[in-house]
Amino acid sequence: MAQTRKTYAAPLIAPPMKVVEDWIDYNGHMNMAFYNLVFDKAVDAMFLDVGISEDYVVREKASVFTAEIHVTYAQELALHDPIRVTCQLLDFDAKRIHLFMEMYHAEKNYLAATMEQIGIHVSMETRRSAPMPDWALSELAAMKHAHDALPVAPQVGRVIGIPRK
Protein backbone atom coordinates (compact mmCIF):
# COMPACT_ATOMS: atom_id res chain seq x y z
CA MET A 1 0.00 0.00 0.00
CA ALA A 2 1.55 3.29 -1.06
CA GLN A 3 0.89 6.09 1.36
CA THR A 4 1.91 9.68 1.52
CA ARG A 5 4.06 10.61 4.49
CA LYS A 6 2.01 12.95 6.59
CA THR A 7 2.86 15.51 9.19
CA TYR A 8 2.28 14.28 12.73
CA ALA A 9 1.34 16.25 15.83
CA ALA A 10 3.85 16.19 18.65
CA PRO A 11 2.61 14.58 20.77
CA LEU A 12 -0.36 12.86 19.19
CA ILE A 13 -3.64 13.43 21.03
CA ALA A 14 -6.08 10.49 21.20
CA PRO A 15 -9.81 11.08 20.78
CA PRO A 16 -11.32 12.35 24.05
CA MET A 17 -12.80 9.86 26.49
CA LYS A 18 -14.76 10.07 29.73
CA VAL A 19 -14.78 7.82 32.81
CA VAL A 20 -17.98 5.74 32.79
CA GLU A 21 -19.75 4.05 35.69
CA ASP A 22 -18.59 0.53 34.79
CA TRP A 23 -14.97 1.67 35.25
CA ILE A 24 -15.43 2.71 38.89
CA ASP A 25 -14.33 0.25 41.57
CA TYR A 26 -15.19 -0.11 45.28
CA ASN A 27 -12.59 2.55 46.10
CA GLY A 28 -14.70 5.10 44.24
CA HIS A 29 -12.18 5.76 41.46
CA MET A 30 -11.33 4.37 38.04
CA ASN A 31 -10.10 0.78 38.42
CA MET A 32 -6.57 0.01 37.22
CA ALA A 33 -7.84 -2.33 34.49
CA PHE A 34 -9.64 0.53 32.79
CA TYR A 35 -6.54 2.70 32.67
CA ASN A 36 -5.16 -0.08 30.46
CA LEU A 37 -8.35 0.00 28.38
CA VAL A 38 -8.05 3.75 27.85
CA PHE A 39 -4.38 3.44 26.91
CA ASP A 40 -5.23 0.58 24.53
CA LYS A 41 -7.86 2.71 22.77
CA ALA A 42 -5.30 5.52 22.48
CA VAL A 43 -2.72 3.13 20.99
CA ASP A 44 -5.33 1.99 18.45
CA ALA A 45 -5.95 5.64 17.50
CA MET A 46 -2.21 6.18 17.02
CA PHE A 47 -1.88 3.07 14.86
CA LEU A 48 -4.91 4.16 12.82
CA ASP A 49 -3.19 7.51 12.21
CA VAL A 50 -0.15 5.65 10.83
CA GLY A 51 -2.32 3.30 8.72
CA ILE A 52 -2.18 0.17 10.90
CA SER A 53 -5.88 -0.63 11.33
CA GLU A 54 -8.30 -3.53 10.98
CA ASP A 55 -7.97 -3.13 7.21
CA TYR A 56 -4.20 -3.40 7.60
CA VAL A 57 -4.58 -6.73 9.44
CA VAL A 58 -6.64 -8.12 6.55
CA ARG A 59 -4.58 -6.57 3.72
CA GLU A 60 -1.07 -7.11 5.12
CA LYS A 61 -1.90 -10.24 7.15
CA ALA A 62 -0.02 -8.62 10.03
CA SER A 63 -0.66 -6.66 13.20
CA VAL A 64 1.09 -5.19 16.22
CA PHE A 65 0.91 -7.16 19.47
CA THR A 66 1.79 -5.77 22.86
CA ALA A 67 4.97 -7.35 24.21
CA GLU A 68 5.33 -5.33 27.40
CA ILE A 69 3.73 -2.41 29.18
CA HIS A 70 4.58 -0.44 32.29
CA VAL A 71 1.83 1.70 33.81
CA THR A 72 2.33 4.27 36.55
CA TYR A 73 -0.57 5.81 38.43
CA ALA A 74 -0.15 9.42 39.57
CA GLN A 75 -3.60 10.70 40.54
CA GLU A 76 -7.14 9.33 40.64
CA LEU A 77 -9.81 9.72 38.01
CA ALA A 78 -13.46 9.63 39.07
CA LEU A 79 -16.85 9.07 37.47
CA HIS A 80 -17.50 11.34 34.46
CA ASP A 81 -13.99 12.82 34.51
CA PRO A 82 -12.91 13.80 30.98
CA ILE A 83 -9.69 12.11 29.79
CA ARG A 84 -7.00 13.30 27.39
CA VAL A 85 -4.23 10.90 26.34
CA THR A 86 -1.05 11.97 24.57
CA CYS A 87 1.18 9.57 22.66
CA GLN A 88 4.87 9.89 21.95
CA LEU A 89 6.78 7.56 19.64
CA LEU A 90 10.12 7.03 21.38
CA ASP A 91 11.72 4.58 18.97
CA PHE A 92 11.06 1.88 16.39
CA ASP A 93 12.81 -0.58 14.15
CA ALA A 94 11.59 -2.99 11.48
CA LYS A 95 9.71 -5.15 14.00
CA ARG A 96 9.29 -3.11 17.20
CA ILE A 97 7.60 0.09 18.33
CA HIS A 98 8.41 1.85 21.64
CA LEU A 99 5.67 4.25 22.83
CA PHE A 100 5.03 6.45 25.81
CA MET A 101 1.59 7.78 26.74
CA GLU A 102 0.35 10.21 29.34
CA MET A 103 -3.24 10.28 30.61
CA TYR A 104 -4.55 13.59 31.92
CA HIS A 105 -7.72 14.88 33.50
CA ALA A 106 -8.80 16.87 30.44
CA GLU A 107 -10.24 19.82 32.38
CA LYS A 108 -8.05 20.03 35.48
CA ASN A 109 -4.98 19.12 33.41
CA TYR A 110 -3.32 16.91 36.03
CA LEU A 111 -1.36 13.80 35.10
CA ALA A 112 -3.37 10.74 36.11
CA ALA A 113 -1.22 7.92 34.68
CA THR A 114 1.52 7.01 32.23
CA MET A 115 2.09 3.95 30.08
CA GLU A 116 5.25 2.81 28.34
CA GLN A 117 4.84 0.07 25.75
CA ILE A 118 6.82 -2.13 23.40
CA GLY A 119 4.78 -3.47 20.50
CA ILE A 120 5.92 -6.25 18.19
CA HIS A 121 4.89 -6.40 14.53
CA VAL A 122 3.59 -9.92 13.93
CA SER A 123 2.67 -11.97 10.87
CA MET A 124 -0.88 -13.20 11.38
CA GLU A 125 -0.03 -16.29 9.33
CA THR A 126 2.98 -17.45 11.36
CA ARG A 127 2.14 -15.64 14.64
CA ARG A 128 5.81 -14.65 14.81
CA SER A 129 7.55 -11.30 14.61
CA ALA A 130 7.89 -9.97 11.07
CA PRO A 131 9.18 -6.76 9.49
CA MET A 132 6.73 -3.98 8.77
CA PRO A 133 6.18 -2.89 5.18
CA ASP A 134 8.35 -0.02 3.94
CA TRP A 135 5.44 2.41 3.77
CA ALA A 136 4.61 1.81 7.48
CA LEU A 137 8.26 2.31 8.42
CA SER A 138 8.22 5.55 6.45
CA GLU A 139 5.17 6.77 8.37
CA LEU A 140 6.76 5.83 11.68
CA ALA A 141 9.92 7.69 10.62
CA ALA A 142 7.83 10.81 9.94
CA MET A 143 6.13 10.49 13.34
CA LYS A 144 9.45 9.87 15.11
CA HIS A 145 10.92 12.95 13.44
CA ALA A 146 8.00 15.03 14.74
CA HIS A 147 8.40 13.55 18.24
CA ASP A 148 12.20 13.86 18.46
CA ALA A 149 11.90 17.38 19.90
CA LEU A 150 9.63 16.23 22.75
CA PRO A 151 11.26 15.74 26.14
CA VAL A 152 11.53 12.18 27.42
CA ALA A 153 9.38 11.82 30.54
CA PRO A 154 11.05 10.65 33.77
CA GLN A 155 8.79 7.57 33.85
CA VAL A 156 10.37 6.18 30.65
CA GLY A 157 12.58 3.19 31.39
CA ARG A 158 11.56 3.12 35.02
CA VAL A 159 12.28 -0.12 36.85
CA ILE A 160 9.78 -1.57 39.28
CA GLY A 161 11.04 -2.56 42.72
CA ILE A 162 11.47 -1.41 46.29
CA PRO A 163 14.59 0.77 46.43
CA ARG A 164 16.90 -0.10 49.33
CA LYS A 165 19.37 2.33 50.87
Mean pLDDT of residues grouped by 10 in the chain (165 residues)? 73 97 97 97 95 95 97 97 98 98 98 98 98 97 96 93 89
- Continuous segment of H or E residues that includes residue 55: helix 54-60
Q: What is the pLDDT of residue 4?
A: 57
Nearest to 148 by CA among 10, 6, 50: 10
Closest CA to 117 of 161, 64, 55: 64
pLDDT in tens, 14-47: 999 999 999 999 999 999 999 999 999 999 999 9
Q: Residue 59, SS3?
A: helix
Sign of CA dihedral 7, 11, 17, 22: positive
Report pLDDT for 132.
98
Count of residues making up the chain: 165
Q: Which domains does the chain have, with CATH numbers?
A: 12-147 (3.10.129.10)
